[in-house]
Amino acid sequence: MTRKRRVRPDEAELWGQVARTAIPMPGRKPAAPPRPAPRTKEIEPPARPDLPQFSMGQKAQTAAPRTVLAPSISDELAGAPVAMDKKAFTRLKRGKLKPEARIDLHGMTLERAHPALIGFIQRTAAQDLRLVLVITGKGKRAPDDGPMPQRRGVLRHQVPHWLRMAPVGHLVLQVSEAHLRHGGGGAYYVYLRRRR
User: How many other CB atoms sit within 10 Å of the CB of residue 2?
Assistant: 4
Distance CA 174, CA 91 (A): 14
Nearest to 31 by CA among 47, 17, 11, 48: 17
Nearest to 189 by CA among 92, 123, 122, 83: 92
Whole-number average pLDDT of the chain: 80
Is the per-residue pLDDT at 182 higher than 60?
A: yes
pLDDT at 190: 93
Q: What is the mean pLDDT of residues 57-75?
A: 63
pLDDT at 162: 92
Are the CB atoms for 189 and 176 separated by under 8 Å?
yes
Q: Per-domain residue ranges for the chain? A: 73-139+152-192
Assigned CATH topology for domain 73-139+152-192? Ribosomal Protein S8; Chain: A, domain 1 (3.30.1370)
Is the per-residue pLDDT at 69 higher than 60?
A: no
- The per-residue pLDDT for range 54-65, each reduced to its tens digit, is 777 777 766 655
Confidence of residue 13 (pLDDT cuts 50, 70, 90): confident
Distance CA 60, CA 24 (A): 64
Distance CA 183, CA 186 (A): 5
Q: What is the mean pLDDT of residues 138-156?
A: 70
Residue type, 152: R
Are the CB atoms for 110 and 153 separated by under 8 Å?
no
Nearest to 162 by CA among 132, 190, 127: 190
121-125, 127-131, 181-185, 189-193: least confidently modelled range: 181-185
- Residue of 171 and 66 predicted with greater confidence: 171
